[in-house]
Amino acid sequence: MALKSPSPESFLPLPAATFHILMAVAEEDRHGYAIIQDVAARTGGELKLSAGTLYRSIQRMLEQGLLIETEERPDPEFDDERRRYYRITPFGAAVAKAEATRMSKLVKWARALGFA
């Protein structure tokens, strides 16, 4: 329903959950629980997304065009009928990239000041 496509930068800074979800679906399409597990694994258990946070974020990201729901089932044998799979869109990737750039700049400046 978005009429004009906004620039990736207009989404920054990205909420942490959103950024993690984008990273979780970067390599392959995942369903909700897989996203939670992936995020937990990536952060060594530091970030455990709750179901509410996850699906609220997903709903927003779908509306913002960062994700789409896919029709294809990557693993039909283990597939559960009610599961939906999410895939990152090119725009989602651009937003994730912009966020990563923003963060690395931030870290660089912090280092220069001896913060890390």
Partner 1 sequence: MMRFYRALLHLYPASFRAEYGEEMCAVYKRRRTSLLSAALEVLRNAPAVHWDILRQDLRYTARTLARSPGFTAVAILVLALGIGANTAIFSVTDFVLIRPLPFQSPDRLVALWEKLPGYTHMELSPANYGDWKRMNTDFEDMAGFTTWQVNLIGQGAPERIKGALVTGNLFAVLGVQSLLGRPITPADDRESAPHTVVLSYGLWQRAFGGDSGVLGRKVNLGGTPTVVIGIMPPQFSFPDQEVDFWTPFEFPEAAFGDRNNNILNCVARLRDGVSLQQANAEMNLIADQLRRQYPKELQHTGAIVDRMRDDISEQRRLLLVALAGAALCVLLIACSNLANLLLARALARQKELAVRTALGAGRERLIRQLVTESMVLALLGGLLGIALADIALPLLIKLVPSLPLSGAPSIDLRVLGFAAILTLLTGVGFGTVPALRAGRGDLSGLREGSRSGGARKAGLRSALILAEVTLSVVLLISAGLLLRALLRVQSINPGFRSDGVLTLQTALPMPKYLAQAKRTAFYRRVLSEIQALPGVSDAAYISFLPMTMGGGIWPVNIDGKTLDRSEGHSASLRFITPGFFSTLKIPLLAGRNINESDASDNPLVAVVSESLARRYWPGQSPLGRHFNFALFDRTIVGVVGDIHVRGIERNSEPQVYLPYQQGPDAALIFYEPQDLVIRASGNPRLLLPAVRRIIHEADPEQPISDVRTLAEIVQDDTAPRALQVRIIGAFAALAFLLAGLGIHGLLSFTVSTRSSEIAVRIALGAQPRNILRLVLQDSFVLATAGVVLGVALAYVAGRAMQALLAGIAPADAATFLVAAGLCFLMTLVGSLVPSLRALRVDAITAIRSE
Contact positions toward partner 1, by CB under 8 A? 1, 31-33, 36, 50-56, 58-60, 63, 80, 82-84
Q: Which is nearer to partner 1, 51 or 106 (CB)?
A: 51
- Nearest approach, Cβ of residue 3 and partner 1 (Å): 9
Q: Any idea what DSSP says for residue 9?
A: G
Q: Which is nearer to partner 1, 42 or 84 (CB)?
A: 84
Q: Which is nearer to partner 1, 63 or 75 (CB)?
A: 63
Q: Which are the contacts of 72, defined by CB distance < 8 A and separation ≥ 6?
A: 29, 85
Give the C-alpha separation, 3 to 89, whole Å: 17
What residues pair up with 88 in beta bridges, in sequence order? 67
